[in-house]
Amino acid sequence: MNRLNGKRTLITGGTSGIGLETAKQFIAEGARVAVTGTNPETLAKAKAELGEQVLVIQADAGNIADQKKIADAIQEGFGGLDAVFINAGVAEFRPIEAWDEAAFDKSFNINVKGPLFLVQALLPLLSNPASIVLNTSINAHIGMPNSTVYAGSKAALLSLAKTLSGELIGRGIRVNAVSPGPVSTPLYGKLGLSNEDLQKTASAILAQIPAGRFGEPSEIAKAIVFLASDESRYTVGAELIIDGGMSTL
């Protein structure tokens, strides 16, 4: 299909998991794609996997100066943008007693501050019409133990999707959100848990999913393709929950 034919697109955190799969689907739908990441090794792997036509940008998702750097690279490479998937994020789970200011700031810098200032930096480049999709989380809705800061940051990002949708629609820019439940991505391997604790955590989460399994990145990416395409041109300020029924319990 060619639902994104010729569209200039940006995916932050596009070197693994949901971001990488979305990049693949964007390309399959005819889009020109730029991805961001921090790790030179995963950036190189993404370039090799996605193809030489993809614009790869090294940037720290929580650093304000790097958001301007992304905008400059897009200006030079594409001249403008038609769709943005703000996906880069961090998930850290701790009991409330274990949080400190530095860890709190890291989560909110990457999950909230960076996205806000990236949208600000990209505004002059966004076409009319354009689509922005924010990757939030089902944790913004459920009271999962040890997710205090992560859930708070994703709730703030979801609020940002709604407020920006009202603010930017007059410019022809639609803002929407996807809120995935647990998905089989490398994110869970970055939680700092031992293999044993990781298995216990995965089993406990799985027991809360009526669908009986974790989601696949491709299932989230298909929803993002829809929201980035003109098929969703009447969808504004919406949240698409994709969680296998987890939030219904």
Task: Tell me which residues are annotated as active site.
Answer: 150
Residue 183 CA to residue 101 CA, distance in Å, equals 28
Within 8 A by CB and 6+ apart from 219, the residues are: 183, 242
Q: Tell me how far apart the alpha carbons of residues 167 and 112 are, in angstroms, rounded to a whole number.
A: 17
Residue 189: which of 178, 181, 197 has the closest Cα?
197
What residues pair up with 175 in beta bridges, in sequence order? 132
CB burial string 19-37: b at 16+ within 10 A, e below: bbbbbbbbbebebbbbbbb
- The closest alpha carbon to 103, from 115, 119, 91, belongs to 91
By the 10 Å C-beta count (0-12 exposed, 13-18 middle, 19+ buried), 47 is classed as middle
> CB-side exposure of 188: number of CA atoms within 13 Å?
17
Q: How far apart are CA 234 and CA 231, in angstroms?
A: 8
Phi, psi of 150 (to 5 degrees): -60, -50
